[in-house]
Amino acid sequence: MLDLLTDSKRSVSDIAAHFEMSRPAVSQHLRVLLDAGLLTEQRHGRERRYQFVPERLGLVRDWIAQYERFWDNHLQRLQEHLSKGGPNG
């Protein structure tokens, strides 16, 4: 579902058409994702268009980053260092 919402805004019915579950079920999923801050909602007339906003995944990434000594300690530090002056402030 997030994949579906990565590149495009989509209406609920549109999303539901890609899955086997009912539209209300999709609505409930969207609600959870919206509450989690992973989606934005835009109202256009009677439609609501949702889009994935991955910023919040940064929290998960940060949590994981605590344990990244294993993967590449040095690169990790470089990343942290650069990101302070990077595109995200």
Residues 16-75 that bind DNA (CB under 7 A): 20-25, 27-31, 41, 44-49
Residues forming beta bridges with residue 10, ordered by sequence position: 50
Residues that bind a copy of itself (CB under 8 A): 2, 6, 52-55, 57-58, 60-61, 64, 66-68, 70-72, 75, 79, 82-83, 86-88
The strands making up 10-11's β-sheet, listed across from edge to edge, are 10-11, 47-52, 39-44
Of the pair 43, 82, the CB lying nearest a copy of itself is at 82
Residue found by looking up tokens 């019915």 in the block: 13
Alpha-carbon distance 20 to 31, whole Å?
A: 18
Min. distance of Cβ 74 from a copy of itself in angstroms? 9
